[in-house]
Structures are given as C-alpha cells and as structure tokens.
Amino acid sequence: MHSPETRPSLIVRLGGAADQSAWWSFVETYEPFLKHLVARHGTPPSHVADVTQQVLISIARSIDGFSDDGKEASFRRWVHQVSRNVVIKYMARQRKQITGLGGTDALLQLDQQPAIDDPALEDQYQHELIVWAAEKVRSEFAPTSWQAFWGTMIEGRPVAEIAGELNVSAGSIYMSRSRILRRIRLVLDEVMQ
C-alpha cells in the first residue's frame, strides 16, 4: 500500500481540532493507510481497528506539535512515527495483561474436542458434586450425625466401625445418612435444573 498524498492546506486546517471537515477528510484519506501500518507493526488482526483509533486520537492530540522539517514526506514520516509509538505502547500494555481466548473460534475449537467417556472420571465428578453439596448442608445437622454420614459415605468406612467410634447404633447411622442424603439430593436438584 502506498502512502497517501497530503495537501499542505489540510495539515494546516487540522491544527486546533476545530475544523471537522478537515478531520473527516484526513480520516477518510489516512485510515486505510494507518490500518496497514498498524498491522505491519505486528498488531494482532483482531486489534488493528482499535489501535488505529488510538493512533488517530494520538495524531489529533499532537498535531499542533507537528513542524515541517522541509524534507520530502515530512508529514507522512511524522504520522508513521506517531503510529509506531502508539503500537509500541499498545504492545507493552498487552504483555502486562493476561488475555483469554473466546468468541466463536474458541467455541468451535471446544466443539471439535472428543467427548470423554471415562467412567472413572464420571465417578470422580459425581463424588466431588456430592462432597460440594454435603458441605453446603453440613450446618443443618448435629455433629454426630454428620460424622456418621461422612465416615460411611465419603470416607467409605464400615458402619460398624463408625458406630463403635461414635458410640451409637448402626440403625441411627443409617437414619442420619438417609436424612443427610435426602437433603443433598434436594440441593443438587436445585443446582442441576
């Protein structure tokens, strides 16, 4: 892409930012060139329009500081320098930020991933879901009932062993377990709807 020709009268009219028609003319003339320049400096394609906008803002803010050095293409060199500085600042900010992927492209990539039909993974998921829901309802039950439930259902220890530790009957463990599991199912039903 070749650099656009800039009329000296347009450059003069840009000073002070009061002449809207001069700015419209400038943007119409220079925007395609600036987009090309910004992309050439290494700006990711998805950010070219935003960085080009920043370049135009920077030009508008600093146009009064432009002075013709008398050499050919003085204004174009100045515009090139302004755009280069804006891109450098943009790249420095991007390096400091963590950006995530998103949008349609990311969604399409996720859809192309094969489904995982691993029973062990599904069992682990179900277990984690039950543990999460159990923690949500823990405060609703007596400590002994909770210990009976946790020891037999989550830790997988025998009912007789837990009954001996807690000095309660096996029947009371089964009752506690049943009440807590019913409450956990209600929590999971609410979440999964």
**170 to each of 133, 142, 165, how far by Cα in Å?**
24, 16, 11
Residue 18 is predicted with a pLDDT of 67
- Split into its structural domains, the chain has a count of 2
Chain mean pLDDT for the chain:
81
In the predicted structure, residue 107 carries a pLDDT above the cut 80: no
The residue assigned the tokens 């995530």 is: 100
- DSSP letter assigned to residue 184: H
pTM above 0.75, yes or no: no
CATH number of the domain within which 37 lies: 1.10.1740.10
Give per-residue pLDDT as tens, 152-181.
Answer: 988 899 999 999 999 999 999 999 999 999
What integer pLDDT is reported at residue 126 of this predicted model? 81
What SS3 class is residue 183? Answer: helix
Q: Where a domain ends, among 62, 79, 113? A: 113
Percentage of residues of the chain with pLDDT beyond 70: 83
Distances, alpha carbon 18 to alpha carbons 49, 57, 78, in Å: 24, 14, 21
Return the sign of the alpha-carbon dihedral for residues 80, 86, 92, 98.
negative
What does each C-alpha distance from 121 to 115, 116, 125, 128, 191 come to in angstroms? 12, 8, 6, 11, 20
* Res 2: pLDDT: 54
Same domain for 159 and 103: no
CATH no. for residue 186? 1.10.10.10
pLDDT at 72 over 80: no
pLDDT tens digits for range 8-66: 667 777 776 666 787 888 788 888 888 888 888 788 888 899 989 998 888 888 887 77
Q: What is the largest CA-CA distance in the chain?
A: 100
Cα within 13 Å of Cα(62), Cβ side: 16
The whole domain housing 47 covers: 8-113
Q: What is the dihedral of CA 183, 189, 192, 193, to 10 degrees?
A: -150
State whether 44 and 138 are in the same domain.
no
- Asked whether residue 141 falls in the same domain as residue 171, the answer is yes
Comparing 79-88, 132-141, 150-159, 169-178, the range with the smallest average pLDDT is 79-88
Non-local (6+) Cβ contacts of 131 within 8 A are 154
Residue 182: predicted pLDDT: 94
Rounded to an integer, what is the distance from CA 140 to the centroid of its chain?
Answer: 37
Contacts of 30 (CB under 8 A, 6+ apart): 4, 6, 56, 79
DSSP 48-113: HHHHHHHHHHHHHHHGGG----SSTTHHHHHHHHHHHHHHHHHHHHHHHS-----HHHHHHHHHTS
Last residue of one domain, picked from the residues 82, 113, 144 = 113
